[in-house]
Copies of this chain bind each other. A is one copy, B any other.
Amino acid sequence: MSRTVEFDKDDIIEKAMNTFWTKGYEGTTLKDLTEVTGLLKGSLYNTFKSKENLFLLCLEKYGSNSKTLFYVDGDPKEYVKNFFKRLVDEGVKKENINGCLIMNSCLEFADSDTAPAKKTKALFKTVELNFERVAKALVQDSDEDPQKYQTSLITAAFSIREISKFKKDKKFLKQIANNALRDLNIMI
């Protein structure tokens, strides 16, 4: 009946996502996208409608990828320990200059009210919810305030991911994490 699509849509989204992740939304050009995906402009627009729409799909994919790293149950101390260990290890790799796509976008779209801006802020909320769940698990059967932990965990995560973009100093990044984890008697 008709010609079949030659590429895997999801594969294209992932490749585009990585580009947006490194270069930001405005910093990524159509040329970048055609080069990294191997598609030509026409196909790109035929399939994804616009650069903005493709970016929204990338944000969605990034969000659902991230969910697999979110806390569900089990030992919350163990979770945060592994979480920050991974963040620091990833951060010091010199090829890793991405940061976190959600946080990068929050900064890029701080003064904007476009669809990507809204999506971005919604995704940040899900990150906050993740840390809220962890924080609550951490203070279970104690009278401590979970909000205190929530704030310090989010802040540490934000700082490590963003600062590691330009400061590849393992000791420094570990200190950020350990500072946030000290009250929990955890060290990485």
A residues adjacent to B (C-beta < 8 A)? 22, 26-27, 97, 99, 104, 106-107, 109-111, 121, 124, 147-148, 151-152, 155-156, 158-159, 162-163, 165-167, 172, 175-176, 179-180
Are B175 and A22 neighbours in the complex by a CB distance under 8 Å? no
Known A-B contacts A22-B111, A110-B97; A163 and B155 likewise in contact (beta carbons under 8 Å): yes
Nearest-neighbor residue (CB-CB) of A145 within chain B: B175
* Identical copies in the complex: 2
- Neighbouring B residues of A147 by C-beta, 8 Å: 175
- Neighbouring B residues of A124 by C-beta, 8 Å: 166-167
Min CB gap A102→B, angstroms:
11
- Neighbouring B residues of A26 by C-beta, 8 Å: 26-27
